Amino acid sequence: MNYLFLFLFTALLSLHLVHSLPGSLIINFFDQTHIDSITIISCVSLGRKLSALREITAGGLQVSFSWKTIDPTPKQRRGAVLDLDCPKINTIIAEINKEKIFNTHTEWLVINRINSKSSYSKKGNLYLSEGVKAISASYALPGSCVRFVQLILDTGEAYYFDMYRVSMLRPMKFQLDWAGPYESSLPNEMTQCAERNRSNLEGIFLKGGSSVVHKELIENFDKIHRDDVPEVDFWAMVHYPIAKLIAEQLNSVLEMVLMDDYGYLTNGSFDGLMGLLQRDEVDFAATGLIIRHSRFIAVQFTAETFELKTAVISKQPPLSSASNIFLLPFSQLVWIACCLLSLMVTAILILEYTLSKHMPEQPYSQKYTTMADLITMVLSTICQQGTELAPVSLSARITVFLFSLFAFFCFTSYSANIVALLQSSAPILKNLNDITNSPLGVKVQNLTYNRFNFRSAVAEDVINLYKKKVKPQGEKAYCEPIDGMKLMRTGKFAFSVETNHAYKIISDTFEEHEKCGLSEIRIFFIPKLAVGVVRRSGYREQITRKVTWQREIGLLSRIKSVWLPQKPHCESGTSTFISVTIEDFIPALLVFAYGAVAAFSILAMENVHYFRIKYFSNAIATDIKKIQLNPEVMIIRGKHKGK
């Protein structure tokens, strides 16, 4: 572009046209197209430019004569005027073709003047001037907005043509829109750029690029089944019917160019499929592409197709691994209330027992009753166990009865809740940090972009997961979906996989109850796949419209229902019996173990205490016996002394 700027700057200073710019024609045209900002490329003299500037700005247009104001991808629609009567116009058009400036975003008005009709041969309504020959070599494909106007100076007539070509290998087409005096206003019925139907490409070959490892799948696409498609070629096969229909809608023939991979950026250029698009060796990508910022230098995206959803799937661990299920049935407040009530009942029974000692009849059926027996009776009632100790007094009976009724309802609620908790799984793994901090191993689907996404991740939770769980394994961390899902099914691994593959395997191989305990955590939030075209492609608008049409009438939904499995639903999560494992029962075993240790410890202490008392009793008995035999002997601390 710098060379072009230098050339134009020199040309504008040295070469002047004798004709002025048709200000009224420019105003009329852009007023009808509802554009208020234009750039004029012309070689008229500076004085004529100033005159045209005053006239055009008075008509409500903002005018620039600088190339720098022409943006190939402007943020809003702009207008541009190209004067074909400039010297060396072929050089200017060559630079326009290189930058592909004739596109949808800019409405172009190309002006060609001829002095007399008799000076040129005619093809239809078009006079074959040098300007026509020059503009016929331009990159003005169906996605361009170029209006060619031919001014007949001796008659004051203007012929407006809609100008485009279906391919760079086909001749330029000039379709007459309107003819009349160029000073008069244009009719409203002139076809606007957005309304032009250029969906007939007249049978040209439209090149579509795709990434396919097993290339025979494309040749036998109509015969293959979804289950026969390897995971590596899945998305290429899903998008192939879309690309094929695009070609049919545009009345063209799809010519497939197949590569082994999608391609990655190396030293400023892409390889693989992206390299084909960057070098303009294909017209569009006949497969879905992930929208990445790094790809914008090689491709532009059209309409979206399907969502590429990657998630970490794992089995939720049992509830017992997160907390003590024997404490979960009641809330903390209920536990406190139960303990306080038990202590209160124990205190009441002890008080009743103490006061009943002075009565003639025994308070309990057991003759020798202690406070320890009362505590044991309260614990037995809580656990719904019987006891030989039976109260005799009416007050004790009422207390025991009411407390037994309370314990019965609590025990019933507790038992029912325990059963439900044993059959449920806890939502322990709620995010990636939970998986990182869990004892689960992590496997990743063996795809190139998974490696790329992990290495280029910026989210802290993804980075931590990669460094702690994935990177230490090296290549062993990557596996095929069927192998990864088998490992995940054991409950010892989490698997990062495209959900469409995971859903298919789950639907085909998992039992109904297994579907209910699965956890799915998104890891890479990727925009929907989109059909890509070469940068500033002349077919971008047409392809976008056709893909949008396919989505609106339900064709994409039909393809999705055939190729993309739906997420399996838990249909019988509460009706399937699940056996209690040793992990669920560990808290109860620990209570028994702690109780057994405490019992044996107390037993040992009791035995020590018993033998100690027995030892001292025997020693005292021996000393007494010795004193009885010899009264004159006094025993002091085990020593015999005489008086």
CATH number of the domain bearing residue 511: 3.40.190.10
pLDDT of residue 15: 45
In a domain, 3, yes or no: no
Give the separation between CA 626 and CA 630, rounded to whole angstroms.
Answer: 6
* pLDDT tens per residue across span 213-251: 888 887 777 777 777 778 778 899 999 999 999 999 999
Whether 487 contacts 495, CB under 8 Å? yes
Whether residue 519 is found in the same domain as residue 602? no
Whether residue 234 is found in the same domain as residue 291? yes
In a domain, 413, yes or no: yes
Query: At 552, is the secondary structure helix, strand, or coil?
Result: helix
Q: What is the DSSP letter of 474?
A: G
pLDDT of residue 633: 55
Based on DSSP, count helices (H) and strands (E) in the chain, helices before strands.
Answer: 20, 23
Whether 426 contacts 323, CB under 8 Å? yes
Whether residue 189 is found in the same domain as residue 252? no
Whether residue 41 is found in the same domain as residue 148? yes
**Range of the structural domain that residue 452 is part of:** 310-317+425-526
* pLDDT tens per residue across span 423-477: 666 677 888 998 998 888 999 999 888 888 898 888 999 999 999 999 999 999 9
pLDDT of residue 534: 94
Give the separation between CA 163 and CA 594, rounded to whole angstroms.
Answer: 92
The token pair at 156 is 């004051």
Whether 355 contacts 393, CB under 8 Å? no
Whether residue 456 is found in the same domain as residue 345? no
Whether residue 189 is found in the same domain as residue 59? yes
Q: Which of 381, 403, 423 is the last residue before a domain boundary?
A: 423
**Amino acid making up residue 55:** E
Query: At 209, is the secondary structure helix, strand, or coil?
Result: strand
Give 3-state DSSP helix, strand, coil % of the chain, rounded to 5: 45, 20, 35
Whether residue 34 is found in the same domain as residue 154? yes
Whether 284 contacts 537, CB under 8 Å? yes
pLDDT of residue 278: 94
Residue ranges of the chain whose pLDDT lies below 50: 1-17, 575, 635, 637-643
pLDDT of residue 502: 92
Give the separation between CA 233 and CA 210, rounded to whole angstroms.
Answer: 10
In a domain, 619, yes or no: no
Q: Which of 163, 195, 227 is the last residue before a domain boundary?
A: 195
Number of domains in the chain: 5
Whether residue 429 is found in the same domain as residue 418? no
Please count the residues of the chain. Answer: 643
Residue 640's contacts (CB-CB under 8 Å, 6 or more residues apart) are 633
Tokens 């996404």 sit on residue: 453
pLDDT of residue 425: 64
pLDDT of residue 298: 92
pLDDT of residue 365: 66
Whether residue 25 is found in the same domain as residue 99? yes
Whether residue 450 is found in the same domain as residue 476? yes
Strand ranges across the sheet with 253-259: 253-259, 205-211, 284-289, 530-534, 299-304
Whether residue 158 is found in the same domain as residue 236? no
Whether residue 264 is found in the same domain as residue 387? no
In a domain, 632, yes or no: no
**Own/partner long-range contacts of 192-198 (Cβ < 8 Å, ≥24 apart):** 192/33, 193/33, 193/104, 193/107, 193/145, 196/162, 198/142, 198/143, 198/164, 198/166, 198/542
In a domain, 635, yes or no: no
Whether 415 contacts 382, CB under 8 Å? no
Whether 311 contacts 533, CB under 8 Å? no
pLDDT of residue 482: 92
Whether 280 contacts 257, CB under 8 Å? no
